[in-house]
Chains A and B, each alone.
Chain A
């Protein structure tokens, strides 16, 4: 099976712009989670989608949004970019194994805001 894919891998944007990141989960995985990774804050949960519905959301401003399509692919959008949004954005798809979920991560999208 192919792993989790994320596009683009690298992105440079200017403050005030918006950006859309894409994630394709492993085939058959219906849950997709997004995380932000920065040197200062580490890995922080953004949101999780399951069957096109947002199941949970982390403590991020409303500028961060996401959605999931019927084929389980997911996108996240950040509007009005700020310098502090520069980070590695990781997507993970989940499958239930032995009464719990295991998350499999993509390689990430490196976003740089200038």
Chain B
């Protein structure tokens, strides 16, 4: 079965410091990986995706993610965190045994950026 795991429930970072939100995946085949962010009382916003090609993917709001096939990881990164980045972050993989609109999400990681 395909799955994603986000090993940290919460990540705390000081404003201006780099941040990393971790994600590992388990799929049979080439993964289609996504990161979404959710602000309180809001739906999910698309940040970036990896389908194929360069292992470093750049997305919205200065975020990027590094695909590592040998470690089956897709960690989200940002060089300098902002207080406004505080939110819930979800890693997701497309269910290759399902349809295009079927994503499997991790449990989410709460990012807290302190001034």
* Chain B residues in 8 Å Cβ range of A98: 51
Given contacts A42-B108, A45-B95, contact A55 B46 (CB under 8 A): no
Assess whether A105 is in contact with B44, with CB atoms less than 8 Å apart. Answer: yes
Assess whether B100 is in contact with A101, with CB atoms less than 8 Å apart. Answer: yes
Q: How far apart are the CA atoms of A32 and B102 in the complex, in Å? A: 10
| B43, CB-defined interface residue at 8 Å | yes
Q: Mark each residue of chain A from 25 to 38: 1 if its CB lies under 8 Å from any CB of chain B, else 0.
A: 00000011101000
Which of A42, A50, A90, A106 is within 8 Å of B101, CB to CB? A50
Assess whether B101 is in contact with A55, with CB atoms less than 8 Å apart. Answer: yes
Minimum distance in angstroms from A55 CB to a CB of chain B: 4
Q: Mark each residue of chain A from 78 to 114: 1 if its CB lies under 8 Å from any CB of chain B, else 0.
A: 0000000000001010101011111111111000000
Assess whether A103 is in contact with B106, with CB atoms less than 8 Å apart. Answer: no
Minimum distance in angstroms from A109 CB to a CB of chain B: 10
**Which chain A residue lies CB-closest to B36?**
A105
| A14, CB-defined interface residue at 8 Å | no
Tell me which residues from 95 to 115 in chain B have a Cβ below 8 Å from any Cβ of chain A: 95, 98-108
Q: How far apart are the CA atoms of A113 and B32 in the complex, in Å? A: 35
Assess whether A103 is in contact with B42, with CB atoms less than 8 Å apart. Answer: no
Given contacts A90-B43, A103-B46, A107-B43, contact A43 B101 (CB under 8 A): no
* Chain A residues in 8 Å Cβ range of B105: 35, 42-44
List A residues at the B interface (Cβ < 8 Å).
4, 6, 31-33, 35, 42-45, 48, 50, 55-56, 58, 90, 92, 94, 96, 98-108
11 additional contacts, CB 8 Å, given A43-B108, A45-B102, A100-B51?
A42-B105, A58-B102, A90-B44, A99-B52, A100-B32, A100-B100, A101-B94, A103-B46, A103-B103, A106-B43, A107-B43
